[in-house]
Amino acid sequence: MESKLLNILAIFAHPDDLTYYSAGTIAKWAEQGHNIITLCCTRGEVGSLRSEITKEQVAALREKELKAANEILGVKETIILDFPDGGLMNGLELRERLVYYVRKFKADRVVTLDPWASYEVHPDHLIVGRMAAEAGTFAMFPLLYTEQIKEGIEPFHCSDIWFMGILGHQPNCFVDISSTFDKKIQAALKFEGTLELIAQFFSPDISPYDVSPEDIKKLSKYAIRLFRSIATTMGRKVGLKAAEAFYIQKVLPGHFDNIQEQMMEMLGNPSEQPKIY
Ligand SMILES: [Zn+2]
């Protein structure tokens, strides 16, 4: 894909976000030798419908699941911040932390959730996506967060932001994940807590309040089927067997480099054909 090896920083809200949306691409990049760092902004501590379990237990479980998934995907470093899951996190505080990590890891590329996705109700997804995009486009300014510069963290020009998952814009890039689809499945199945939480998404017959180990086996099968169908549908659009879709924005200082495209769209002209990697 690219000849230069990149530092790729994936920033997401909950432990399962990245794997569900982009694991095939992440595994492919890791195989190509790129340096992948994942940064999860919350511990995902409210991600359960069980009332007898504590937030601490949920967080510990989800951290374990994320680390197991990341190991399969070849992720070098897993960072988990402690912003409140499902709470209204402080966007400015989050942005300052994210600028710090973009600078620290010299992130050539940021992968994150799309804060402009239609009907996205989860505030964590919206705030994290927005702040990650801002961090990628603001980390280069030496006069921003000067206390970081004083600590020896250099400003850094991130090149592009890749929005993943449900997008607010037609994808402008598809990644061929045929060779890493199996890794995606193996990684996704590590998130048993998620299978349980969104059981009805996979199977209307299983109650998320009462999931047995036998149900988890069934849910895993349904989940594989669903992931395969999503990857196939994305792939079919561009003649691939399996794909993940993204909307890539190139970074200008404090802005995105797509003014011409936006103006053309404003006038009702379709954008150019998506790129395939
Ligand atoms: Zn999430």
Residue 119: which CATH number?
Answer: 3.40.50.10320
CA–centroid distance, 272 to ligand 1, in Å, is: 30
CA–centroid distance, 153 to ligand 1, in Å, is: 29
Residue 44 near residue 83, CB atoms below 8 Å: no
Residues 249, 258: Cα–Cα separation, whole Å: 7
All residue ranges of the chain with pLDDT < 50 are 1
CA–centroid distance, 179 to ligand 1, in Å, is: 26
* Structure confidence at residue 37 (pLDDT): 98
Residue 181 near residue 231, CB atoms below 8 Å: yes
Q: Does some domain include residue 170?
A: yes
Q: State which residues form the domain around 18.
A: 7-276
Give strand ranges (E) for the chain. Answer: 7-12, 35-42, 77-83, 109-113, 160-164, 173-176, 243-252, 255-256, 275-276
31, 124, 132: which is closest to 85 by C-alpha? 124
Q: Does some domain include residue 1?
A: no
CA–centroid distance, 143 to ligand 1, in Å, is: 32
Residues 163-221 pLDDT 10s: 999 999 999 999 999 999 999 999 999 999 999 998 888 888 888 888 899 999 999 99
Residues 39, 68: Cα–Cα separation, whole Å: 15
* Structure confidence at residue 262 (pLDDT): 86
* Structure confidence at residue 166 (pLDDT): 94
Q: Does some domain include residue 259?
A: yes
* Structure confidence at residue 209 (pLDDT): 87
CA–centroid distance, 270 to ligand 1, in Å, is: 31
CA–centroid distance, 48 to ligand 1, in Å, is: 12
- SS3 sequence of the chain: CCCCCCEEEEEECCCCHHHHHHHHHHHHHHHCCCEEEEEEEECCCCCCCCCCCCHHHHHHHHHHHHHHHHHHHCCCEEEEEEECCCCCCCHHHHHHHHHHHHHHCCCCEEEEECCCCCCCCCHHHHHHHHHHHHHHHHCCCCCCCHHHHHCCCCCCCCCEEEEECCCCCCCCEEEECCCCHHHHHHHHCCCHHHHHHCHHHHCCCCCCCCCCHHHHHHHHHHHHHHHHHHHHHHHHHCCCCCEEEEEEEEEECCEECCHHHHHHHHCCCCCCCCEEC
CA–centroid distance, 162 to ligand 1, in Å, is: 17
Residue type at 40?
A: C
Q: Does some domain include residue 261?
A: yes
CA–centroid distance, 90 to ligand 1, in Å, is: 17
CA–centroid distance, 123 to ligand 1, in Å, is: 9
Residues 271, 247: Cα–Cα separation, whole Å: 12
Q: Does some domain include residue 33?
A: yes
* Structure confidence at residue 88 (pLDDT): 77
* Structure confidence at residue 110 (pLDDT): 98
Q: Does some domain include residue 12?
A: yes
Q: Does some domain include residue 191?
A: yes
How many domains are there within the chain? 1
CA–centroid distance, 268 to ligand 1, in Å, is: 33
CA–centroid distance, 242 to ligand 1, in Å, is: 23
Residues 78, 10: Cα–Cα separation, whole Å: 10
CA–centroid distance, 13 to ligand 1, in Å, is: 5
* Structure confidence at residue 258 (pLDDT): 87
CA–centroid distance, 81 to ligand 1, in Å, is: 14
CA–centroid distance, 125 to ligand 1, in Å, is: 6
CA–centroid distance, 18 to ligand 1, in Å, is: 8
Residue 63: how many other CB atoms lie within 10 Å: 17
Structure tokens at 2: 């690219």
CA–centroid distance, 14 to ligand 1, in Å, is: 4
Q: Does some domain include residue 2?
A: no
* Structure confidence at residue 87 (pLDDT): 86
